[in-house]
Structure 1
Amino acid sequence: MKAAPDAQRRLLDLQAVDTALNQLAHRRKSLPELSEIETVSREISALEDERVRAQVAVDDLDRDITRFEKDIDQVRTRKNRDQARLNAGGALREIEGLQHELATLNRRQSELEDAELELMEKRESAEQTLNEIKKRIARSIERRAAAEARRDEATAEITKEQEFKTQSRAPLAADLPQDLVQLYDKIRADTGLGAALVRAGRCGGCRIELYGADLNRVKGAPADEVVRCEECRRIMIRTQESGL
């Protein structure tokens, strides 16, 4: 392929724009906020699991406490009934039976109230655990929101730079021979770098020094010949810096 030396040299300007676009795309994908958001999201997910378990523990204790309260109410109701019967008087044997049952009910009520008190203490501790988990979730959500805001700000800046670079690329490419640009784009799509400056006898694409027949081939090529590296296949741009 033939192309004017100046057109070949301007491929480096096109490559500089494309390199900048590649760097911006890489920067977009590797923003530190993305990793932070992912990490915090995993933390929130794990904390949500903890919250569910803590809530279940509180709910279980609430059910147990409610059951004890019902049992205590039943005991109290029975005590009131027996006390009323006792107050009404009656046969000695019946009175003794009622007194015995009241004593039994008092013990039962005391046992139930002690057990209920123990459950209420456990519930207080379980609720404290639940509330602490909720606070941690809230703090993590705030951290994630802050990271998302920073991500959005950085992404908007990158998008603005990409748009500017893309707009500047169009006239550069349009001003070059289309067959040269097509070759350049094909190589760039395959390797990420379409054209590279030869500097001090070394290919700027693969960094391999030219020697022997390959060096003679490049040296002997006409100035308007589009020369490609035998190693990396990129277009080699020759200037005064090339040392040829």
Structure 2
Amino acid sequence: MTPSRETLPALLELQGVDSQLLTTLARAKELQSSERVAALMTRRTRAIAAARELDAGQRAAQDAVARAEAKVSEIQTRIDRDTERLNTGGTSKDLMGIQHQIDTLLAQRGRAEEEQLSAMDHAEEVAADRERKQPLLRAADAEARAAVAERDAELTRLREEHARLGAERSRLAAGIADAPLLERYDRLRTARGGGRIAVARWENGTCGACGTRLSPADAAALEATPDSAVPQCPECSAMLVL
């Protein structure tokens, strides 16, 4: 056996680690671009905006009630003042004028009280609508937060796993003395965009890298590869451990 052929099992172990590294990177990329998380965050943003609108609507309704109450109170104060003037007496003309003013204020108070009742009814409707919708909005916020926390926790785990695998790869690569074969392995692995299987087992006439089952003639030729050469799959060029 040549040193190159003896190195293939070590390369096979290195290939296993490299495949795991690719898997962790692919999963991390998938998590970072998760459509589910993006959709939940969009829903959360809309929920927050809706909650703010509900809060603003409630404040506006409460302000309207306060203004209506203040208006009724102001008119009542004027009525009380004019009633006191009326009770103190005066000329017939003055008293008629005061009474007319009181009658006018009473009519104004009636309209103001109607506006007050309308504002109070509206405020109650707004509060009830807010009360109905808030649980749904809080649920949207909570679901999005949970999804982000879950994603971030898995990303942390993947980063730790990637660091562990990176250290393992360095250890395995440092233990391979056949530098030319290691370079050949890396070229095959990173060719055509990367992610290829550069070394695999040859079992039952099938390439462990691409899954191709060779014809009896091709299989025989492969198995007859001289010890001075490294067996390669004729379909995917992966180095094979016979």
- Match for 2:235: what amino acid? E
Q: Work out the CA distance in 2 between the residues paired with 1:208 and 1:151.
A: 37
Which 4+ stretches in 1 moved above 6 angstroms?
A: none
Q: Work out the CA distance in 1 between the residues paired with 2:113 and 2:24.
A: 69
Tell me which residue corresponds to 1:222.
226
Q: Work out the CA distance in 1 between the residues paired with 2:77 and 2:131.
A: 36
Aligned residues of 1:62 and 1:123 also touching (Cα < 8 A): yes
Once the two structures are superposed, the pairs formed by residues 133-148 of structure 1 within 5 Å of their partners are 133-148=133-148
Tell me which residue corresponds to 1:242.
none
Count of residues in correspondence between the two structures: 236
Q: Is 1:49 aligned with 2:53?
A: no
Q: Work out the CA distance in 2 between the residues paired with 1:210 and 1:204.
A: 11
SS in 2 for 1:198: strand
Give the C-alpha shift of residue 138 in structure 1: 4.2
- Match for 1:56: what amino acid? A
Q: Work out the CA distance in 1 between the residues paired with 2:110 and 2:228.
A: 105
Q: Work out the CA distance in 2 between the residues paired with 1:157 and 1:63.
A: 51
Tell me which residue corresponds to 1:161.
161
CA RMSD, Structure 1 to Structure 2 (Å):
3.1
Tell me which residue corresponds to 2:61.
61
- Match for 1:236: what amino acid? M
Structure 1, 180-189 or 151-160: larger mean CA deviation: 151-160
Once the two structures are superposed, the pairs formed by residues 19-38 of structure 1 within 5 Å of their partners are 19-30=19-30, 37-38=37-38
Q: Work out the CA distance in 1 between the residues paired with 2:124 and 2:3.
A: 83
Q: Work out the CA distance in 1 between the residues paired with 2:129 and 2:227.
A: 78
Once the two structures are superposed, the pairs formed by residues 78-89 of structure 1 within 5 Å of their partners are 78-89=78-89
Q: Normalized against structure 1, the TM-score is what? A: 0.78
Once the two structures are superposed, the pairs formed by residues 1-244 of structure 1 within 5 Å of their partners are 4-30=4-30, 37-176=37-176, 177-190=178-191, 191-192=194-195, 193-211=197-215, 218-233=222-237, 235-239=238-242
Q: Work out the CA distance in 1 between the residues paired with 2:102 and 2:157.
A: 81
Q: Work out the CA distance in 2 between the residues paired with 1:180 and 1:200.
A: 25
Aligned residues of 1:9 and 1:237 also touching (Cα < 8 A): no
- Match for 1:71: what amino acid? K
SS in 1 for 2:235: coil
Aligned residues of 2:47 and 2:140 also touching (Cα < 8 A): no
Aligned residues of 1:61 and 1:123 also touching (Cα < 8 A): yes
Q: Normalized against structure 2, the TM-score is what? A: 0.79
Stretches of structure 1 lacking an aligned partner (at least 5 in a row): 240-244
Q: Work out the CA distance in 2 between the residues paired with 1:157 and 1:62.
A: 50
Give the C-alpha shift of residue 103 in structure 1: 2.2
- Match for 2:107: what amino acid? R
SS in 1 for 2:200: strand
Aligned residues of 1:198 and 1:237 also touching (Cα < 8 A): yes
Aligned residues of 1:3 and 1:226 also touching (Cα < 8 A): no
